[in-house]
Amino acid sequence: MAQLGADQGQPGAELSRHAEARPAGQAAGMSAERRLTERQSQPTEVLVVLPTFNEKDNLERVVAGVRHLGHDVLIVDDASPDGTGDLADRIAASDSGVRVLHRERKLGIGSAYEDAFRIGLADGSALFVEMDADGSHRAQDLGGIVNAARGCGGLAIGSRYVRGGRIVGWPAHRLLLSSGANIYTRSLLGLRVRDCTSGFRCYTRALLSAIKLDDVVSQGYSFQIEMVQPVEDAEPTPNPSPPRGEGKGEGRTKK
């Protein structure tokens, strides 16, 4: 896909245009109030997006692991009642590489990533990582998935179902459900990628710039599946990077 030559404008303007562009049935949700903390430093190449809802017990540890690698972090908090948003603000106040997008209520993990991608595109980020804030994904696996995205020039997915990938701490019924859901989805939609529901992935700027985010309908977890489809339609199979998926941490991300 063609490399985008110019930035996408100001983050606030992008979010506003996005809200106006949603289907009528979703307009109220997408026009909800958002507050983005100010950028205190120049953006790095990699932006790691952490959607949160009630992750106060995990957030600081997860952010520290990412920042140790020098990557920027954008926390998207949907008015967590446990104080996650306040903690995120304190982290951002002490670290210029961390920003927080506050949203007034739960709007879905898909819309959280959409908002974050627009902000990152406007800021000039080159690589965009989706990562859970509950400790399910390890910071030490970021290097592999980022390098895989650089290498394929599009989308790298942290697959649980390729050689070298595994999940630790999940009960057997959950493993069976996840695997079965992927097989069913791949068969139904004709997808080649092995793990179309993985929440650990990295997009290049060129790919995100080519995807029409306004046309993405899913606001929940099916967002991950919907984002794979245009990639497979336009390019070879997304690059699967095999991280070790950990079981859930102390909190829970419910988007």
pLDDT tens-place string over residues 129-166: 999 999 989 999 999 999 999 988 888 888 665 555 45
Per-residue pLDDT tens for 44-61?
999 999 999 999 999 999
128 neighbors 49 (Cβ within 8 angstroms): yes
Go through the domains of the chain in sequence order and give each one's CATH number: 11-245 (3.90.550.10)
Q: State the Cα–Cα distance between residues 101 and 35, nearest whole angstrom.
A: 6
Least confident interval from 81-85, 136-140, 156-160, 228-232: 228-232
The reported pTM is 0.74
Per-residue pLDDT tens for 4-54?
222 233 444 444 434 433 433 333 333 458 999 998 899 999 999 999 999
Per-residue pLDDT tens for 172-208?
655 555 555 655 455 555 566 766 677 899 999 999 9
- Cα first-last separation, the chain: 30
pLDDT at residue 167 tops 60: no
Higher pLDDT: 92 or 9? It is: 92
Largest Cα–Cα distance in the chain? Answer: 48
Residue 237: closest CA among 190, 200, 205, 182: 190
Q: How far is CA 220 from CA 113, 137, 150, 224, 245, in A?
A: 10, 19, 27, 8, 21
Q: State the Cα–Cα distance between residues 226 and 179, nearest whole angstrom.
A: 18
Residue identified by tokens 């991608």 is 117
Could you tell me the pLDDT band of residue 93, with boundaries at 50, 70 and 90?
Answer: very high
- In three-state secondary structure terms, 155 is strand
pLDDT at residue 113 tops 70: yes
Q: State the Cα–Cα distance between residues 205 and 121, nearest whole angstrom.
A: 7
Q: State the Cα–Cα distance between residues 128 and 119, nearest whole angstrom.
A: 11
Any idea what DSSP says for residue 26? G
